[in-house]
Chains A and B, each alone.
Chain A
C-alpha cells in the first residue's frame, strides 16, 4: 500500500464549481498534514496546513480524520487560476515530507 494515496484525477470542472479531493495515508504515526499546489513546470507551494479540527482559508477548506487516516480538500467557487496539481502531504517528526502523486484540476470557462 502506498504511503499517501490520492484520487487519480484529472478533475475537469467549470468555473464556479465546488470540487473535493480526497487523500488517505498509511502511517498512523503521521503528525503533520498539508496540501501543496504545483503549477505546470513549477515548484510545489504550500497551500495550507491541515489541522485536526479542520480549517478554512477563503474558498479552501481542509479536513482531517485521524481515525480513518483521511484528509480532504474542498475548493468552492472554482476559478480558472485554481487549475493546478494538488498534492496531499504528510510527515512524522524528524522525517521528510511524504507526497502523494497529486490530483490534477482543470477549471474551464
Chain B
C-alpha cells in the first residue's frame, strides 16, 4: 500500500548517459512534484504538474524533462548526465485543499550517482 513510489532507488551511471526515474502515487492526488536534494542536503523544487499540466518549472537545465502520462505518474528524464547531477531526487504528491493549504507526501527518493 505504498503511497508514493519511485524507481529505481539507486542509479549509478556514467557521464553523458541518458536516464529516467519513474514516480507513481496511489493517493488520488492531483499534483505531483520533483525535488532535488544536493550533497548539502538542501531540498529544492524542480517541477510540478497538476492534472498532467506543467505548473512549476524552476531554473533547471533543459537536459531535465518531466513527463506526466496521467495524474498518478510523473517521470523524470535526464539527458547527457553530468557529475553535478549527482543528488537524491524526490518525487512528491499533494491534493489542493482550499486556497493553497496542502500537504505533500514524498517518495523514498532516487539516489543518482554520476561517475
**Complex Cα–Cα for A98 and B45 (A):** 8
Check A99–B101 contact: CB distance below 8 A: no
Q: Provide the residues of chain B in CB contact with A93, threshold 8 Å.
A: 99-100
Per the CB 8 Å criterion, the residue count for chain B at the interface is: 24
Chain B residues numbered 60-109 whose CB sits less than 8 Å from any CB in chain A = 90, 99-109
Minimum Cβ distance to chain B for residue A64 (Å): 13
Q: Provide the residues of chain B in CB contact with A96, threshold 8 Å.
A: 33, 35, 45, 48, 56, 58
- Which partner residue on chain B sits nearest A45 by CB separation? B106
Check B100–A32 contact: CB distance below 8 A: yes
Minimum Cβ distance to chain A for residue B48 (Å): 5
| Chain B CB within 8 A of A12 CB | no
| Chain A CB within 8 A of B12 CB | no
**Complex Cα–Cα for A46 and B101 (A):** 13
**Residue from A43, A91, A92, A102 in contact with B107 in the complex, judged by beta carbons closer than 8 Å:** A43
| Chain B CB within 8 A of A21 CB | no
| Chain B CB within 8 A of A87 CB | yes
Check B108–A34 contact: CB distance below 8 A: no
**Complex Cα–Cα for A96 and B69 (A):** 21
Check B41–A43 contact: CB distance below 8 A: no
Interface residues of B (CB under 8 A from A): 33, 35, 40-45, 48, 55-56, 58, 90, 99-109
Sample 28 A-B pairs with CB under 8 A, ordered by A number.
A31-B101, A32-B100, A32-B101, A32-B102, A42-B108, A43-B106, A43-B107, A44-B43, A44-B90, A44-B106, A45-B106, A49-B101, A49-B103, A85-B41, A91-B100, A93-B99, A93-B100, A94-B100, A96-B33, A96-B35, A96-B56, A96-B58, A97-B45, A97-B104, A98-B45, A99-B42, A99-B44, A101-B42
